[in-house]
Amino acid sequence: MEYFLQNFPQQLVNGLETGSLYALIALGYTLIYGILEMLNFAHGDVFMVGGFLAAGVTAVLVHGGVSFLPGVLLVLLMMVFAMGGTGFLGVAIERVAYRPLRNANRLAPLITAIGVSLFLESVVQVFVSPAPVGLPTNAFVSQGQLRFGNVETPLTGVLLFVVSIILMVALDLFVFRTRFGSAMRATAQDREAATFMGIDVDRVIMVTFFAASALAGMGGVLYGLRFATVNFFMGYLLGIKAFTAAVIGGIGNLRGAMLGGLLLGVLESLGGGFISTEFQDAFAFLALIVVLLIRPQGLFGQPLGDRA
């Protein structure tokens, strides 16, 4: 018990850190699912590509002798490149692989998405690196630790948390406070009715894919900064967990995805810290099963009605 009390705050902080990453990626799953009712398996791999874009930017700038640039500028450059790159990647994926199947049987886009996921992994594995790639983060971001009592966390972890929260709030404002956001919500509710109201559904879907993928790309950058290494396989497990987070929060529900992500991160961290580190990955899966059994519409989701 004493062990538990001593370590609980630290595990909680670790959990919030990974949880904010899950939430960032879960937002993408939930956005795309909300609008297209489609599970975008490739989303985790878009996150991975974001990490590699960040690694590429640092490799070019740091090894290219531009290391006199202030660290803040470098990080901003990484973020812009990675978000832009993954955003356009998402739009391209939608255009090439998903749009032709938009009105097809539900199975078709799901299978295509698996193909896209494997494609992205294979491209990075074959043409970039089959081994993990390190980011020389110590060259441009502070490696300091934030200390609070006996809890400590690296500053990059704090960055991860803060940037994630800012982006989540921004997305929330975009979807719930802007005109385009209301077009998105209308499309999510009823695509055909939205068309009749004069909404360009194709454009809404394109922007949705751009936003979701850019968030995943930002997740990749933050992951790269925090853990200083990226690999071609990292999107797979994280994608499953982020999707789990989206389901816990109620798929299609933005605020649910954020809370679900944080909740899952904390749950996993506590499970890993106090029950078993080896089976840490199994906790997310167990959480998914339990949520699906008890409350399939998620903690904050609407009942799915006849879609069961």
Partner 1 sequence: MSATPAVIEEPPTRGQHLWQSGPAAWNEALTRPVVMIPFFILAAATPLVLQYLEDNSSWIGAQFWTTILANCAMYACLALSLNLVVGYAGLLNLGFIAFFGIGSYAYALVASDQLHQHYPIWSALLVVIMVTVAFALLVGVPALRLRGDYLAIVTLGFGLIMRDLILDLDRPPILAGHQFGPSDLNLTGGTNGIHQVDPFKLPTSLPLIGSVPHFVMYYWIFIGVLAIFVFCMLRWRHTRTGRAWVAIREDELAARAMGVNTFKYRLLAFTVSAVMAGIVGMIDAAFIFNAFPGNFDVQQTVMVFIMVILGGLGSIPGAILGAIAFTVPPFLLQQFVFIKYLVISLVLIAVMVFRPEGLLGTVSIRPRKTMGGTVELFSDQAGAEPSAGTQGKAAELESTTGAIVPEAGPEPSV
**Residue among 105, 148, 177, 179 that touches partner 1 (CB under 8 A):** 105
Query: In degrees to the nearest 10, what's the CA dihedral of 213, 214, 218, 221?
Result: 80
Exposed/middle/buried for 149, CB within 10 Å: 0-12, 13-18, 19+?
A: exposed
- Least distance from C-beta 147 to partner 1, angstroms? 28
Asked whether position 2 contacts partner 1 by CB under 8 A, the answer is no
Asked whether position 128 contacts partner 1 by CB under 8 A, the answer is no
Query: Could you tell me which stretch among 57-65, 152-160, 191-199, 220-228 binds partner 1 (CB under 8 A)?
Result: 191-199
Bridge partners (DSSP) of residue 26 are none
Nearer to partner 1 by Cβ, of 71 and 100: the residue is 100
Asked whether position 86 contacts partner 1 by CB under 8 A, the answer is no
Give the C-alpha separation, 302 to 252, whole Å.
9
Per-residue string for binding with partner 1, 258-297, x by CB under 8 A? ----------------xxx-xx-xx-xx--xx--xx--x-
**C-alpha distances in Å from residue 222, one per residue of 1, 187, 250:** 34, 31, 25
Residues within window 7-26 making contact with partner 1, judged by CB under 8 A: none
Of the candidates 39, 16, 10, the one whose C-alpha atom is nearest the C-alpha of residue 150 is 10
- Least distance from C-beta 76 to partner 1, angstroms? 33
DSSP state, residue 299: S
Contacts (Cβ under 8 Å, ≥6 apart) of 239: 25, 41, 43, 44, 45, 47, 117
Q: What residue has token string 């799915």?
A: 304
Could you tell me the maximum CA-CA distance found in the chain, to the nearest angstrom? Answer: 63
Nearer to partner 1 by Cβ, of 68 and 278: the residue is 278
- Least distance from C-beta 222 to partner 1, angstroms? 23
- Least distance from C-beta 274 to partner 1, angstroms? 6
Q: How many residues bind partner 1 (CB under 8 A)?
A: 61
**Residue among 104, 170, 173, 197 that touches partner 1 (CB under 8 A):** 104
**Residue among 59, 69, 77, 97 that touches partner 1 (CB under 8 A):** 97
Token code pair at residue 210: 């751009």
Give the C-alpha separation, 16 to 10, whole Å.
10
Asked whether position 103 contacts partner 1 by CB under 8 A, the answer is yes
Per-residue string for binding with partner 1, 21-60, x by CB under 8 A? -----------------xx-x-------------------
Q: Which amino acid is at 49?
A: V
- Least distance from C-beta 192 to partner 1, angstroms? 5
Beta carbons of 220 and 82 less than 8 angstroms apart: yes
CA quadruple 250, 264, 108, 201: dihedral sign = positive
Asked whether position 169 contacts partner 1 by CB under 8 A, the answer is no
Asked whether position 244 contacts partner 1 by CB under 8 A, the answer is yes
Over the Cα atoms of the chain, what is R_g?
A: 19
Asked whether position 114 contacts partner 1 by CB under 8 A, the answer is yes
Residue-by-residue DSSP string for 203-256: HHHHHHHHHHHHHHHHHHHHHHHHHSEE-TTHHHHHHHHHHHHHHHH-TT-HHH
**Residue among 60, 73, 111, 146 that touches partner 1 (CB under 8 A):** 111
Q: Which residues bind partner 1 (CB under 8 A)?
A: 38-39, 41, 95-97, 99-108, 110-112, 114-119, 121-123, 125-126, 191-192, 195-196, 200-202, 236-237, 240, 243-244, 247, 274-276, 278-279, 281-282, 284-285, 288-289, 292-293, 296, 304, 306-308
